[in-house]
Structure 1
Amino acid sequence: MEVCCNLEVDVNGEQIFFVDKKTVASYCGKLSKLFGRSKGSLRNLKVIFQGFPGGAEGFELMLKFCYNNGNLEMSPSNVPLLYSVAEFVEMNSSISGTQNLQEQIEKFLEDISDWTWSELLNALKRCQDLCNTPLVVVDKCLDCLVGRLNLAVEASSCPSTSSPDSWALRVSCDTKSSESLKTGFSNGLWWFDELLVLTPDFVKMIVQFMLKRSFDEVVVSKFLIYYQKSKFSTATRDEKRKIVEVVIETLYVLEQNSISCKSLFSILRVGLGLNIDKCIRNKLEKMIGARLDRGSLDNLLLPSPSGMNYLYDVNLVLRFVKAFLHEKTSRTCSMALRRVARLMDLYMAEVAPDPCLKPSKFLALAKALPEYARSSHDDMYRAVDMYIEVHTEMTEEEKVKICCALNYEKLSVETFLNLSKNTRFPSMSSLQALVSEQVKLKTLLQTAKNSKSITHSCHELDECGDKSTDRAETGDRVVLYAEKLDFPDDDEKLKAHIEGIQWRVMELERVCTKLEIQMGKVMKSRVTSSRHSELKSLPWLCS
């Protein structure tokens, strides 16, 4: 039977085919509709296809199906291309009275569980090479592939603690030993290298299937980090940016504990150099901020963006702190908050010597955390002192603003004494420190007065008779010191007053120590007297 070639087909400008219009149209819904709408002569027709899946190769597969009465030998290697062609030319209606191509492919995919690992991986490689990705084939391949990976990870002895860097054996799909390895699942993480053939978009899809199957997220995060580092060796700059963006977006949906803060900072350093998308960078900053309490000073010392004259990227660190506070809204996270406060104190001390760091930025660092985050302000004081020492051009007003970030009530005695002699600090700071110290001393005074009252109430005890007078004298000394704490009206006496505060604090501490010892003896004497009937009962004030 002579075959008529009355249709010219240009496929993507690559190759021209002359085919029988009736034969092809009987299986292709798109061509059948096209010829049905044609009002002119049906002779010498020419059809031009743009974006035909697989180009000439895909069109030849379609012709084999059409000229073989709707039959074609299928395999895992040609199914992805066939399905794309079937969708493109609408071979999804049984207009010829026989089973159409799309239905045959879907029936063939029902036995996908019988495919080997290599066949699944090769099918995915073919899918990602096509412009029109056949999602039905991709989903089935990924689902089957992840199912086998899940078995491999479960069979591994320590999946969460394994590391690609510690593998003693690197295997390839082409060797018998690797095929045996896949069959026996002797190493749960052998697939790290195998999946390097996938594009970033396909890696993102396969991770989604992993999470649907409750895959170990620690393993998933390690695979993503390994994928990024391995692909970078041969990737172009644009490819690197794409890889990093996909890795960040995929890590963003994982649990916090599935990836270390150090790994996130490593990704950040790479991403900053590649100018990744701002939205994706914000996601990475939020992830780091949520784990900031697990970071280190070295992690935070990131260079400033190009065009900036200061050394470190202070704005980035401030965004980290903001993200941390947004995640840790409850005070139940006090331990994490204190770790971040300690980290910020170290960071402030590190950036303080930078001569280009503006006072407003340093003040923002000092006030980034709430006041209750720090139990002591000694480290912050040292950072502030260093900043003021380096930035000699600051005005008095700027110094006062920075010093206002300090809580002088949270300074230790040694730090307070250092502040009282520090000529670099503004005089207002010294006054605030004295006020805070006076509050401390008055608190101690109240304790001493209470101790004195108890002492006088217990003076009837024979054992304590001789000591009562000493305690009274000690109490009088405490009152005397308290009276001397009033600030002098004359500013010229301020310096002398500051110098005198040191011995007052030390003397008061000694007085309080003596009172505590004497109170202990009084209470001990009261217990002893209650046990011996020959002693008098204690007055009610001591009971």
Structure 2
Amino acid sequence: MGVSCDLEVDVNGEEVFVVDKFDSFYRECLQKILSSYCGRISKLFAKSKGRTRNLKVIFHDFPGGVGSFELMTRFCYNNGKIEINPFNISLLHCIAYYMEMDKSMCKTHNLFEQAEKSLEEIRYWTWSELLVALKDCQNLLPIASSSGVLNKCLDSLVGRLALACETSPCPSTSSPDSSGFRVSTDTRSTESLKSFSRATWWFDDLVALRPHLIGMAIKSLVSRKFDNGIISKFLFYYQKSKFVTATSNEKREITETVVELLYSLDQSAVSCKSLFVILRVVLNLNISKYGRNKLESMVGSQLDQASLDNLLVPSPIGTNYLYDVNLVLRFIKSFIEGTSSMPLMRLKKVASLMNMYIAEVAPDPSLKPSKFLALVRALPDSARDSYDGIYHAIDMYLEVHAGLSEDERMKVCCALNYEKLSSEAWNHLAQNNKFPSKSAAQALISQQCRLKSLLQDTNQPASPCSFVDTESNGKKDESHDQIVLYAGKLDLSAENEKLKVHLQSMHGRVIELEKVCRKMQTQMTKMMRSRLSSHSNARSLPRLCS
């Protein structure tokens, strides 16, 4: 009986192939066959020279596992012949690369060269064959990337998509919120639906790819100037479709990939509405801070397209307040910093949205004054033509937060621009006991200065803060009564003595000016009628004494 010799091959811990022979001749045959085609095997046998038994080869990352190893051995025992097609080329290419089955081992029948020649025919493959090869690549990473087969398949796929887009342009898809699914009997709408279908036919096919490959494909499409609007639609579609069966970890990977890719696109092609959908998903996922910052930056840059419902995001777990105010503040910061020259129209649109948001969060009893003030002051004063909305929000805030100190209440009220309050808001403030006395007095002074400015618009010489009522017919000046009444309501402490003196001085001036107003009344009425007759579009004199 010959000497027993065991050769064991452990493939990725999945299975161990054992070759039991009773003569060293068989071991030598095995060695010659495998070594003649596989450089990796040849090197391992060279290291074991002189050993006659109990040889073991361990592969930890053999591409494709046990089935691939059997495929390789069949190639070797078949004199280096095997059928190569789009359905096995990715696997064979990776095996050849991993086992070093190139020209250095076999000049004529090496597997790597055969696979490379087959890849040269990739331009003749059908779309389905190309997809199969690409899907196989994602199961063979990172070998598929190192061998080059992944890049070749991916380049071919992206090239076909780019060519299809050029030959079948899709109008209107570059608009992020445009819908290609609207059905209408109108011929143009039908054509739009067909165009949209032509531009998005590949969506379902690529959903089967993993995030890593999607990232590579999209980056390649972007470099080829592919329509960013179509890309963004695909990414939102991809995220939604993959989430149906994904685990928490997979959802996190998908979201981070989608956000990073969206961030690389032209932001005008990214739907703000869809970004908020992802944002609410992110609340339950522990994505990286880097990815979250990118998402918030994209949302902030399009804040003027958001709605109130979009902003009402629940506060993070562990906080007492109802809504995530800090998130909205970050949105505003991104919006303001997003461009060097912000169009005033966009700024005013965000200000209108913020007025509604501030009014919505004002009744929250857990909202601190500092956060409330930060919301009011987040936008520049030029963004608001009127502060009436902010006044009413402050009124609600002070009502709910009745326990605030005088200083805290005063700080909140300092956020108001009294010069941009309407007469109705000013009259309400003058009688509002929730506002501190200093604030009401400041509003009073602002109102007087505004009256002065309005009177000066009539180009009539008059003392500062004169009151003229062209329709009072000799009635007593009511604004005078309001000032006197309010001055009597003020409860001024010693530290407010200067303010008290100022108000008393104003009171005296108003009494004197009342006499002047009555004398000027008749003359002003005549002048006004004369001006109206000569200038049909002239502005009426304000009724300042009502």
Matches of 2:302 and 2:179 in 1, distance apart? Answer: 22
| Contact residue 86 and residue 102 of structure 1 kept, 8 A | yes
Deviates more, 1:310-319 or 1:192-201: 192-201
Aligned to 1:245, which of 229, 245, 256?
Answer: 256
Answer yes or no: is 1:440 the counterpart of 2:441.
no
**Which residue does the alignment assign to 1:373?**
383
Matches of 2:138 and 2:412 in 1, distance apart? Answer: 57
Q: Residue 47 of structure 1 aligns to a residue in which SS?
A: strand
**Which residue does the alignment assign to 1:337?**
347
Matches of 1:75 and 1:262 in 2, distance apart? Answer: 45
How far did 1:329 drift? 3.0
Aligned to 1:74, which of 80, 84, 89?
Answer: 84
**Which residue does the alignment assign to 2:268?**
257
Deviates more, 1:292-301 or 1:254-263: 254-263
Q: Which residues in structure 2 correspond to 1:307-346 (within 5 Å)?
A: 307-331=318-342, 333-346=343-356
Matches of 2:232 and 2:535 in 1, distance apart? Answer: 62
- Compared with structure 1, are the counterparts of its residues 513 and 83 closer, same or farther at alpha carbon in structure 2 (3 Å cutoff)? farther
| Contact residue 156 and residue 185 of structure 1 kept, 8 A | no
How far did 1:363 drift? 0.9
**1:145-190 alpha-carbon deviations (Å, 9 max, x no partner):** 223333444426547178586699xxxxxxxxxxxxxxx9973322
How far did 1:97 drift? 2.8
Matches of 1:512 and 1:315 in 2, distance apart? Answer: 54
Aligned to 1:48, which of 48, 58, 74?
Answer: 58
- Compared with structure 1, are the counterparts of its residues 382 and 497 closer, same or farther at alpha carbon in structure 2 (3 Å cutoff)? farther
- Compared with structure 1, are the counterparts of its residues 146 and 276 closer, same or farther at alpha carbon in structure 2 (3 Å cutoff)? same
Aligned to 2:136, which of 117, 126, 150?
Answer: 126
**1:398-443 alpha-carbon deviations (Å, 9 max, x no partner):** 1111111111111122211111111111111112112222322333
- Compared with structure 1, are the counterparts of its residues 356 and 520 closer, same or farther at alpha carbon in structure 2 (3 Å cutoff)? same
Aligned to 1:292, which of 289, 303, 319?
Answer: 303
**Which residue does the alignment assign to 2:10?**
10
- Compared with structure 1, are the counterparts of its residues 50 and 256 closer, same or farther at alpha carbon in structure 2 (3 Å cutoff)? same
Q: State the Cα RMSD in Å.
A: 3.7
Q: Residue 188 of structure 1 aligns to a residue in which SS?
A: helix
Matches of 1:165 and 1:446 in 2, distance apart? Answer: 59
- Compared with structure 1, are the counterparts of its residues 422 and 56 closer, same or farther at alpha carbon in structure 2 (3 Å cutoff)? same
Matches of 2:327 and 2:155 in 1, distance apart? Answer: 40
**Which residue does the alignment assign to 1:348?**
358
**1:251-292 alpha-carbon deviations (Å, 9 max, x no partner):** 111111212211100110011112222211111000000000
How far did 1:31 drift? 2.5
Matches of 1:163 and 1:15 in 2, distance apart? Answer: 56
Aligned to 1:147, which of 159, 165, 171?
Answer: 159
The one-letter code of the counterpart of 1:260 is S
Matches of 1:191 and 1:359 in 2, distance apart? Answer: 52
Answer yes or no: is 1:30 the counterpart of 2:31.
no
TM-score (norm 2): 0.78
The one-letter code of the counterpart of 1:334 is L
**1:109-153 alpha-carbon deviations (Å, 9 max, x no partner):** 111011111111111111112243412222222222223333444
Answer yes or no: is 1:234 the counterpart of 2:245.
yes
**Which residue does the alignment assign to 1:535?**
none
Answer yes or no: is 1:83 the counterpart of 2:108.
no
TM-score (norm 1): 0.78
Q: Residue 30 of structure 1 aligns to a residue in which SS?
A: helix
Percent identity, aligned pairs only? Answer: 52
| Contact residue 152 and residue 185 of structure 1 kept, 8 A | no
How many residue pairs end up in the alignment?
475
- Compared with structure 1, are the counterparts of its residues 49 and 522 closer, same or farther at alpha carbon in structure 2 (3 Å cutoff)? closer
Deviates more, 1:97-106 or 1:136-145: 97-106
How far did 1:447 drift? 4.0
Matches of 2:110 and 2:95 in 1, distance apart? Answer: 12
**1:44-88 alpha-carbon deviations (Å, 9 max, x no partner):** 532111111111111122223323333322111111111222222
Answer yes or no: is 1:282 the counterpart of 2:293.
yes
**1:344-389 alpha-carbon deviations (Å, 9 max, x no partner):** 1110000011111111111111111122221211111111111111
The one-letter code of the counterpart of 2:160 is R
Aligned to 2:201, which of 187, 190, 201?
Answer: 190
Matches of 2:11 and 2:171 in 1, distance apart? Answer: 53
Give the gaps of 5 or more residues in structure 2.
Answer: 20-26, 185-194, 463-469, 489-497, 537-546
| Contact residue 101 and residue 111 of structure 2 kept, 8 A | yes
**1:451-477 alpha-carbon deviations (Å, 9 max, x no partner):** 459xxxxxxxxxxxxxxxxx9xx9xx9
| Contact residue 362 and residue 396 of structure 2 kept, 8 A | yes
The one-letter code of the counterpart of 1:368 is A
Deviates more, 1:236-245 or 1:369-378: 236-245
Matches of 1:495 and 1:273 in 2, distance apart? Answer: 60
Answer yes or no: is 1:222 the counterpart of 2:223.
no
Matches of 2:159 and 2:121 in 1, distance apart? Answer: 15
